[in-house]
A and B are shown apart, each in its own frame.
Chain A
């Protein structure tokens, strides 16, 4: 099955600075890479995703880049704000199953934005 590794585990940034979180995956057949944001006491919320036919996708202050050759993808948050403080998870589907509801998640990155 798919194995997803995520770094760093914690990230502290000053408000207004950028934050970058990196993930690697093991199965070259994976072609869908979502990022989820989880606030304290809540369920994960999809913030951006990318498919393997593109190398970069942007949505306002959030962007995701994908390098299929190196099998890694990254989340970039620019002009960080205190409300960006949360745990962020990357994920990838398990291509060895036909269960499209099965995602393999990274261990998560705790992002703290200090004013």
Chain B
């Protein structure tokens, strides 16, 4: 079975531009989470979407937005790019978890999209 797939794998943008990153979850998974991983650090939570609704948002500016489609795939959008947005953007999918965060299940990560902002 295919794992979590992300596109593009690498991209270069300049300051002020906009970027769209895409993610397809594992078949049967209805939840998608987005993380930002700056070089040398652990992943930082950006968003979680479940059944097309936002379920959680991390400490990121409004320049970051996301959505989930009826087929459970997702897009992460970043506007007005800054140099500091250069990072590996990871998508993770998971099964529905009843009971919320205290019943957290396994997150399956994709290989990420490497964004470089010049």
Contacts and interface: CB of A to CB of B under 8 A. Distances in A.
Interface of A: 6, 29, 31-32, 34, 36, 41-46, 49, 89, 91, 93-95, 97-108
B105 A100 contact: yes
Given A104-B45, A105-B43, A107-B42, A98 B101 contact: yes
Nearest to B31: A101
A interface: dominant SS: loop
Contact of A108 (B41, B45, B55, B111): B41
A100 B42 contact: no
Best-buried of B100, B101, B109 by chain A (most CB within 10 Å): B101
Best-buried of B42, B58, B97, B105 by chain A (most CB within 10 Å): B42
A106 B54 CA distance: 24
Nearest to A98: B100
B42 A95 contact: no
Interface of B: 4, 31-33, 40-45, 48, 50, 55-56, 58, 90, 92, 94, 97, 100-112
Best-buried of A46, A98, A101 by chain B (most CB within 10 Å): A101
A107 B39 CA distance: 11
A29 B90 contact: no
B99 to A, nearest CB: 8
A29 B31 CA distance: 23
A100 B101 contact: yes
22 contacts: A32-B102, A41-B111, A43-B90, A43-B110, A44-B43, A45-B109, A89-B43, A93-B102, A98-B55, A99-B33, A99-B48, A99-B55, A100-B55, A101-B48, A102-B33, A102-B58, A103-B45, A103-B104, A105-B44, A107-B41, A107-B42, A108-B41
A95 B94 CA distance: 17
Given A29-B102, A99-B101, A46 B107 contact: yes
